[in-house]
Amino acid sequence: MLGRETMRYAIGIDAGGTHLRVARLDPEGNILNKEMLVVGTERTADIFFKTLSEKIRLVAGAHRKDLAGIGLGLPGICNQKEGVIHELPHYPHWHDVPVIQIMKEGFSCNVVFDNDANMAALGEHWKGIAKNLPTFIMLTLGTGIGGGLVLDGKLWRGEEGFAGEVGHMVIEADGKECVCGNKGCWECYASAGAVPVGKTAEGFSKAADEGDSEAKKFWEKFGHYLGLGISNLANITGVEHFVLAGGVSLGWPHFIESAKKTILKGAYPRLAKKIVLQKTSLKGEAALIGCAFAVFQTSKI
């Protein structure tokens, strides 16, 4: 345990499709204080980083001089080599935004960034349900679907950060229109994007609890599509463990059986029997904890 005078902190940032969370964490990954705000419809990089800087200063408070670094989890294609985020389907104005350069202009500490699902995977691997799993796939079911691939104890980012964009795997030829510009992407069928306009995942979950047949049918179909995507991922990678997080995972009791049924049909029979789906043990905080891990132990992963 570090002495009080030498205690360093990390700032963790989890930017999703609808919410932005900023937290201060200690070297053990404990969240000490946190701020959350809704990301508005205006999502230009200029406004985003201005708001973010204000929140970081607020959360860091008097501890700003003790910051070991800032970790950002962003919902898009993060190119680690260039310090640039190429695309964010849910932030359509962003193209090749130099994240590291922008952050360094405002803060003198170490800055690391990664896809939000990758950060969540690091969090689960460090402190969560995937602690003892060298190989697993993290799936964040929120506004879209994020994927983080931990293979043999290491995050697989792809050559330019494009790995894990599982939400945009086409699952229905010529299907629903996706924010990425394509049609029939997985996240249109197994994330909040699948919920009909005017309804919410939370509302549908409550309705299913009360036995509403429309809601039960919705979750069953949701589970089927979820299982379809997981079957494809398992067949491609041979990964057997999947950790699910994100706001939509609250429908778990209503979709899990349907998902498992589809996996048994969709993945190779021998592999299908070994597939394990687990719910996050870190509630909504896996990405924030992963950001702290990235700040404190970058060299270890």
Q: What residue ranges bind Zn ion (CB under 5 A)?
A: 168, 178, 180, 182, 185
Sign of the alpha-carbon torsion through 103, 107, 112, 115: negative
Task: Tell which residue, 71, 84, 32, has the closest CA to residue 296.
Answer: 71
d(CA 114, CA 75): 9
Nearer to Zn ion, 55 or 90 (CB): 90
Task: Tell which residue, 295, 247, 286, 246, has the closest CA to residue 121.
Answer: 286
Task: Tell which residue, 103, 109, 140, has the closest CA to residue 123.
Answer: 140
Nearer to Zn ion, 74 or 178 (CB): 178
- Max distance between CA atoms of the chain, in angstroms, equals 60
Nearer to Zn ion, 180 or 250 (CB): 180
Task: Identify the H or E element spanning 207.
Answer: helix 201-209
Pair 186, 200: CB distance under 8 Å: no
Pair 148, 138: CB distance under 8 Å: yes
CB of 91 to Zn ion, least distance (A): 14
CB of 93 to Zn ion, least distance (A): 17
Nearer to Zn ion, 66 or 87 (CB): 87
CB of 156 to Zn ion, least distance (A): 20
CB of 231 to Zn ion, least distance (A): 19
Nearer to Zn ion, 193 or 251 (CB): 193
Nearer to Zn ion, 51 or 182 (CB): 182
| CB burial of residue 210 (10 Å; 0-12, 13-18, 19+) | exposed
CB of 177 to Zn ion, least distance (A): 9
CB of 162 to Zn ion, least distance (A): 13
CB of 46 to Zn ion, least distance (A): 25
Nearer to Zn ion, 168 or 254 (CB): 168
Task: Tell which residue, 90, 53, 294, 96, has the closest CA to residue 191.
Answer: 90
Q: 3-state DSSP call for residue 144?
A: coil
Pair 12, 23: CB distance under 8 Å: yes
Cα–Cα separations (whole angstroms), residue 199 to 30, 55, 140: 34, 30, 20
CB of 178 to Zn ion, least distance (A): 3
Nearer to Zn ion, 98 or 175 (CB): 175
Pair 8, 47: CB distance under 8 Å: no
